[in-house]
Structure 1
Amino acid sequence: MIHSRTRRFGALRLLTILALAFMPAATAMGAAAAASAMAMPQGRCDGVVSDSAATSAIQSRLDWSSAIDASDVRLVTRGGVTEIRGLVRSEAQRLLVGDVARDTYGVERVNNQLDVNDWAPVTDTAREIVVTRDAERARDHGKLRSDAWIAAALTYTLSFSRAIDTCQIAVESADGRVSLRGTIASAAARDSALALAKDTLGVQSASAAELVAK
């Protein structure tokens, strides 16, 4: 199923690129924004959270977080148990990855087997690898995200968060400035939603002034 979905998204991306190549600039920008939102997987409120959906949600949340480097993180969910393996560069990162998994609907238990490699590189080759990877991550995090992408990514993230526990939050983004609207169960949940918004790649600022706690 994963390979099939990858091929489907690959074909969609190729068709989008070909279409944009022959569009006027203004039209192409609008189509790109729409395509970025359309390519998002389904959120929790669209159906039952299967093991594969939970795994995809965790991976997406890690990839879209400005605070986490998940380039060497691998995970799988079976029977509601998510096993996390790979490498991170600090104990704080290891704990953050585990927290994201535990906060995701569809996950009943987390087996965090991440190794921490916080040693400073001692060889020229190792130092070059670290510098290259840090530069690649900085470039990826610095990429311009469209407002459509930001709104879709954050809506998806919020739908899977246990701390939020609602699918009734409206997300609007204008030039990376995000506003959240709707009703939420508590002030603590509102704070969590605001924190997730600020942590999403592409978000310049976030406001929850119109997100009302019951």
Structure 2
Amino acid sequence: MTDRQLQEHVQNALDWEPSIDAADIGVSVDNGVVTLRGDVKTYAEKAAAEHVALAVYGVKAVANDINVRLGTGLERSDTDIAQAVVSALRWSSMVPDEKIAVVVTNGWVTLSGQVDWEYQRSASARTVRDLTGVRGVTNAIAVVPHASAPDVRQKIEAALKRSAEVDARRINVTAADGKVVLSGNVHSWFERDQARRAAWSAPGVTQVDDRIAIVP
């Protein structure tokens, strides 16, 4: 697939997604690497555009240079945003809100603290990004499990073999002291993401070094 064809596919995917106003989003492609530029009215739209682009077959990586220009009536003070973030985290059943600190500066939310699992870290950012007035999110939460598992590699390999969306034969796994290294190659970003999710789901994992190459 040529870069021009991939550019057209990504633009069509953005136009097809109802949660995104793609009228002001431009797409460029260089050797399979997609760059998104333009303006959107919310941070949720910016995040959604990146997710849509990554899901297009043939995309190797995405540089998200979209600007968030809050629409009319969407401006909020940092105090209002901070209160909304704290409340949203408290109401999420997947987030240990008592372990998370929140700082808001000019609409940009920074989350910090320590949690036991990657899914808790990811859920924290997802909970915040859709709130009105948020211009961006920095997720500085660290994953620090209470216990480590000596058979992390075997657990991850077993999870990959169970997955219908990942060809486990193409992925190599090494693990030591909570750090997991994934290498090999897959056909799409989605398959790579599923492998990374499987690695993060293993108990005792504190870091995942994703070296998997995308070879459409």
TM-score of the two chains, using structure 2 as the length reference: 0.33
- Structure with the higher fraction of residues in strand conformation: 2
Task: Return the structure number with greater relative CO, CA threshold 8 A, min gap 6.
Answer: 1
- Structure with the higher fraction of residues in helix conformation: 1
